[in-house]
A and B are shown apart, each in its own frame.
Chain A
Amino acid sequence: MTLPLRAHRAHQTLQSDTDWSWLSQWRSQAWSTFADTPWPTRKTEDFKYTPLKSLTNTDWELPTGSAKGTGRGVEFENWPRTVLTLIDGRLTDHDELPEGVTVKLLSKASAEDRVRFEQRLEAGLADNKQLFSLVNQALLSEVVWIEIAANQQLEKPLHINQIISSGAQQRVIPVRVLVDVANSARATLVETFSSEADGPVFINPITELMLADNARLTHYHLLMEQGDVRHLGAVQAQLGAYANLNAFHMALGGVLKRKDITVYHRGSGAELNLNGVYLPRGKEHIDYHTCLEHEVPHCTSQEVFRGIIGDQAKAVFNGRIHIHKDAQKTLAQLSNKNLLTSHQAEVDTKPELEIYADDVKCAHGATISQLEQKSLFYFLARGISRPEAEVMLSFGFINELLEGLEDEPVRLLLRPVLANLFAKEDIWARHLL
């Protein structure tokens, strides 16, 4: 049985429960496209290395909205921030919003808001060719729409703390987060995902970032759910003129994770820094598909993704750069490096350059390697045990990217998580904590 059949009841239940005809229609549209799309097989290019079997043996239902007894999700030490807590896709709590920031919810939209939501969602970036964007639209029950007014310089980061509750087994959780950063505004957005569920969970989030001219956004998108979790979603961003997006992605844990990241350079002079790490172990599977759409001239993209794949885990990285005909003077670089720490680990990496402008500078590269023997020997020759040396070297491979993070608290959160991830015994990570 394929996913459309497994989720059909969820879609129907949702549709019977609304008086908002536009929304109902919008979801139906997506549902019919989704249901008509052939279910991906090994021959479907986009999912060639990412089988979706783990999605098709559960009848997915939407959350009932009465989640209780959850923990606090992901917390950062000594980092004052404006926290918005979402449990099973519903905003349950938020700190006082700073000046210049508004948050609207689809589920609580007034008649006036509904009109704005309709316009905003229809003008959105969601790609109808992306299978899991369609799922999100077909099952959409909540949208958290954050607007940051022009010229606002947010002192504290906004933290969207998404928690999957312990009662969420067999739930599909589609959430959409829209963040609109108006002209010359500046903000930091942290999105974290964690799960307490015991049974299978299917998280299907979309984050849409609209950066107007001269806007600056630092974005962290950290998938930290462990256990029986499938997380298939997308991050889409649009950059206006001289906008700057500095993004860091991380994925660890879970049965299956797939993130499609698309960035549209739509204003001249826009700058993108897109970095990420993925760390599947055990039998986990993590897939990042990134696509940079350079549509206008004089934009830059720097993209670095690194992965460490252990045990029998599998990773997929597909990095596409598309330079449109008018995008002269584009500067775009993509690097993807992978470290395999077990003979059964696997990675499939594919950089793709598609260039239609003739005056651009583009570079891409991908490597797959194991720990270097000469580095390992250097540790051994100083008396450090082999397992500790392996942990420190693996950590170092990722730490190069952590060191580039703007926010120390994120680094401090991730350091011990990563150090302990590589160490089967605590003592092997002791010099990294």
Chain B
Amino acid sequence: MLKIDNLTAQVEDLTILNGLSLEVKPGEVHAIMGPNGAGKSTLGNVLAGRDGYTVTGGTVEFDGKNLFDLEAEERARAGIFLAFQYPVEIPGVSNMEFLKASVDAIRTARGEEPMSSMDFIKLARAKCKEVDLPQDFLKRGVNEGFSGGEKKRNELLQMMLLEPRLCILDETDSGLDIDALQVVAKGVNDLRSPDRGIIVVTHYQRLLDFIIPDYVHVLAKGRIVKSGDKSLALELEKHGYSWIDEEVA
């Protein structure tokens, strides 16, 4: 479903991704770990189509199509979902309006009718419950005044409503206490399905106790330097990232 081949990308003339290759098949959960500055967040942003990142080489195919032919909103409609590391606060636009606009856009792209307001409210309330957000969060401004954990749960809520083909979780565990972490992990596990791919980008092994990945990759200096199964994450936890540096050297 996602095939990244030898990808290089820059931010303001600085090369961040440097020959990254990765293939994600439907049903798989991939964890990408790595030290600060390795390019973890850049990968998510490049895949989602954020401005300010220049792809300088390599290819990315999503469901057989060249991803870079698509604008950011077209990628979302094709089924790519980036859960933001730092979700944006948008006062004045209610969470409900935002979610409805988003769900309608995705449904329209799939050739489905927009949902009726009543059906949508019912659905959104049900999903709120699943991610343990009080329902009045739907009426509040998007992420406005939400705590770190609430913002991440709001990302999860969006992911559940949009039912993407490929989920990219960008350090969704950062800033979460153990209870929130379990809520998020449960949500992600519920989304695991044979036709959905999931990429979990994280700095710590902790999240992977709850979301068991099929593959673990170590990202360093802009490319994947080591891949393995979940035991790799435990080794990293034990030895730290310097161990990888030595190994690569």
State the A residues within 8 Å of B (CB).
Answer: 372-375, 377-386, 388, 392-393, 395-400, 403, 431-432
Contacts and interface: CB of A to CB of B under 8 A. Distances in A.
Interface of B: 48-52, 71-73, 76-77, 81-82, 84, 87-88, 90-93, 97-98, 100-102, 104-106, 109, 141-142, 158, 162
Given A377-B50, A432-B97, A382 B105 contact: yes
Nearest to A396: B92
A386 B52 CA distance: 17
B158 A431 contact: no
A377 B102 contact: no
A405 to B, nearest CB: 13
A187 B48 CA distance: 53
Nearest to B97: A431
B47 to A, nearest CB: 10
Contact of B102 (A375, A383, A386, A395): A383
Contacts of B84: 378, 381
Given A383-B77, A383-B106, A378 B88 contact: yes
A382 B92 contact: no
A384 B104 CA distance: 8
A396 B76 contact: no
A393 B49 contact: no
B50 A392 contact: no
A398 B76 contact: no
Contacts of B73: 379-381, 383-386
A392 B109 CA distance: 20
A397 B162 CA distance: 26
A18 B79 CA distance: 76
A294 to B, nearest CB: 29
Given A380-B76, A383-B105, A384-B105, A374 B88 contact: yes
A374 B40 CA distance: 18
A382 B76 contact: yes
A396 B105 contact: no
B87 to A, nearest CB: 7
Nearest to A397: B92
Contact of B90 (A381, A383, A393, A398): A393
A375 B92 CA distance: 12
Contacts of B51: 373, 377
Given A377-B88, A379-B102, A400-B141, 18 more contacts: A375-B88, A375-B90, A377-B51, A378-B87, A379-B101, A380-B73, A381-B50, A381-B73, A382-B162, A383-B102, A384-B105, A388-B105, A392-B93, A393-B90, A396-B92, A397-B92, A431-B97, A431-B104
